[in-house]
Amino acid sequence: EATPNTTVHTGIACDGCQGSVVGNRYKCMECPDYDLCQACMDKNLHPEHNMAKLV
């Protein structure tokens, strides 16, 4: 049984909702400082660039 990812990415704020990033972090591969949380990634808030999934 898989356990949910509850990693807290300290010092990282989601650029979509301005909240903390807990669990999966998505970092833009083209913008110098752009990160999304899982919920904002699911909303497809930054579709113009490729995102790297960091766990």
pLDDT single digits (tens) 18-35: 999 999 999 999 999 999
Nearest CA-CA partner of 45 in 55, 54, 31: 31
* 51 contacts 44 by C-beta, under 8 angstroms: no
Residue 34: both structure tokens together? 């752009």
What integer is the mean pLDDT of 5-21? 95
Q: Which residues contact 37 (CB under 8 A, 6 or more apart)?
A: 14, 16, 17, 19, 20, 21, 22, 23, 24, 25, 26
pLDDT-derived band at 5 (thresholds 50, 70, 90) equals confident
| Residues with Cβ within 8 Å of residue 18, at least 6 apart in sequence | none
- pLDDT of 3 higher than 90: no
Q: Above 90 in pLDDT, residue 2? A: no
- List domains and CATH numbers for the chain: 8-54 (3.30.60.90)
pTM: 0.89
